[in-house]
Structure 1
Amino acid sequence: MRHVFAFLALALIASGSAEAKSRFQPYEGSDAIMEGKGGTRVTKNGIDYWNSGMPPRRFKVLGLIEDKRGLGRLAGDAIGSKSVAKAAKAAGGDAVVFLSSNARVTGAVSGGQASAYGNQAYGSGWSAAVGVQTAKLAVIKYLD
């Protein structure tokens, strides 16, 4: 039974409980000031997360955040995450605009157990994907 818990702990670690990493890259360009037409947003951890569309006001693009985290239930999502908010605030941003995301599965962790008594057998098993998901978000500063 102890082995089952050890395998389960390994699967949780491999499937995304590792801390997310959000890396900021500054943007340079003459098109840094924009005005959006609206969309949907979530406000969390002190910033706005525009998950579709752009804010219906003037803003300046400060740069991009590349957020990498594991796959799985414990990994969470870039939208609403503390690591993205921390990186955006450190860059001077008020909000982020979701641009894209992708996931890459690199393997799987699985395990199980079985027991038999007489002519009856019982068993159970589990598996979890191992990989990384990457999201790109624009860090913006509201201008009005």
Structure 2
Amino acid sequence: MAVTVMNEQDCLTVYDQLVEILNQLQFAWVSQQVFEVISAGKTVEEMVSGRKSPDLKLTYYTPQEQLLLLIHAIKKAVVHAVDLELEIARHLSEEVMTSDLQPEIQFTSSFEKKTQDLKFPVELATHRQKEAETLLKLLLKLEKEVQKDVN
């Protein structure tokens, strides 16, 4: 069985493809936040001979690290958000059974004087959770492939 190893170019290609998918699905804010983190670089400690304390040095993220940051952000923004949505839907559904409340949350803009109702049907949230679980499996598999090369 051949072992798949993602080189730097593979990681950059997958990163770009994921960013494009996020943009198409109106999740550009996720890729933008990751881009800002990557642009800022990371601080690493570097020991200098003759000194007791390390120097701090700013370095760039490797393509593998960049892809791992994006994968982590997708898990947080998409997969974990669905878990939160399902929990809200379940809670609101339980409240409906014991009161006259509707399973929805209403947002009112103080500037525009507009009201927006967000409904949380459990069935829809459950369906999205199944899709999120599939996405999570794919992300974990991709993460594992990237980490093979990093380790």
How would you bin the TM-score normalised by the shorter chain? under 0.3
Bigger helix fraction: 2
User: TM-score with structure 1 length normalisation?
Assistant: 0.28
